[in-house]
Amino acid sequence: RKEVEQDPGPFNVPEGATVAFNCTYSNSASQSFFWYRQDCRKEPKLLMSVYSSGNEDGRFTAQLNRASQYISLLIRDSKLSDSATYLCVVRGSGGSNYKLTFGKGTLLTVNP
Amino acid sequence: EPEVTQTPSHQVTQMGQEVILRCVPISNHLYFYWYRQILGQKVEFLVSFYNNEISEKSEIFDDQFSVERPDGSNFTLKIRSTKLEDSAMYFCASRAGRHGLAGGGEQYFGPGTRLTVT
């Protein structure tokens, strides 16, 4: 099983649509969870951290289910500017070095 | 807003040559990282660095790779003898890491150096 596995995509949605991304991780001792976005040939940019209680930032909602080792990201009322690759990222257990493990990403294209 | 910077943005080198990729982390950050991304593949961890020493490295980070913080601001990645398969985007990241400070866990990435080995 891959360490971090995401929907392969790509997703093509119209403006205003709601889109959900799913992610699973294999290491049950993982400590922290994040969603990053990456535009073509650019660096990953932190979108939001993911907490067990679930968290929301405007149109974005992230959920974490530790028992199922499952993370999700929901984007409501999608905009053209949301077009990017969405990366599910997990921080491993142990130590203080905070190594991040990335999923391969899911490409989202929002169409006018 | 403080940001991580990297130079050069693009480096072309011949196989067997040495390259040094440079990064300036965010000024009050304590933890530094290098990642790489081969075109079309996922971002992969290379090495983490804290208190002037390597704290963890991946199996990719073999004897051909080294890191250094030569002064109070720069953080460098050296590849001694480049191979074709070293062609990738190399990202530097930094993290504040101060206990008790909100946001100390998040890593912030620089814009990357695209390394092309011919």
Cα nearest neighbour of A32 on chain B:
B105
Residue pair B76/B12 in contact by the 8 Å Cβ criterion: no
pLDDT, mean of residues A94-99 = 66
Q: d(Cα A62, Cα B118) in Å, to the nearest integer?
A: 42
Per the model's pLDDT, the better-predicted residue between B104 and A48 turns out to be A48
CB-closest option in A43, A96, A99 to B111:
A43
Residues of A in contact with B112 (CB under 8 A): 42-43
Write out chain B's pLDDT in tens, 118 residues. 779 999 999 999 999 999 999 999 998 898 999 999 999 999 999 999 998 999 999 999 999 999 999 887 899 999 999 999 999 999 999 998 764 444 457 899 999 999 999 9
Q: Which of A5, A37, A55, A100 to mutate to test the interface with B (most CBs of B within 10 A)?
A: A100
Cα nearest neighbour of B97 on chain A:
A96
For chain A, first and last CA: distance in Å? 37
User: Among A3, A64, A75, which residue's Cα sits nearest to residue A33?
Assistant: A64
**Residue B42 three-state SS:** coil
